[in-house]
Amino acid sequence: MVQTQATYLGDLRCSAEHGPSRAVIHTDAPKDNEGKGEAFSPTDLVGAALATCVMTIMGITARKFGWDMTGTTATVVKHMVADPHRRISRLDVVMENLPKGLDAKGRAALEDAGKTCPVTRSMHPDTTVALEFRWE
């Protein structure tokens, strides 16, 4: 169990403190939803959580085989809809700068790991998660 303490700061902004580390993040409503867009929105954090979770789980697998994931990047594009309430409809994730020199079996092992990260498995069934792996 991990506890996070969130505080509404006013003007559609919040802070959240991670209990174990005391690290703090801030959110702001996006410009298209009455905010200033000066920080991650809560739904932006969902995309960031997805990308970092995919890389973390891939990193665990890579470590087991002695592969180096350092420098791997993920770009996330979040798509929103209002039907009738605002929600994330799709997250497109492109993984790049993946470890070089892996055979098809190694690549498949990393892709399978990424596709089964806890955030991916926690997404609502109406939210499409599209993962693309760009090897070399």
pLDDT digits (tens, 9 = 90+) for 57-103: 999 999 999 999 999 999 999 999 998 899 999 999 999 999 999 99
Q: Please say whether the beta carbons of 95 and 74 come within 8 A.
A: yes
11-25 residue pLDDT tens: 999 999 999 999 999
Cα–Cα distance between 129 and 107 in angstroms, integer? 19
Q: Find residue 130's DSSP bridge partners.
A: 92
**Residue 67, token pair as written in the block:** 């592969």
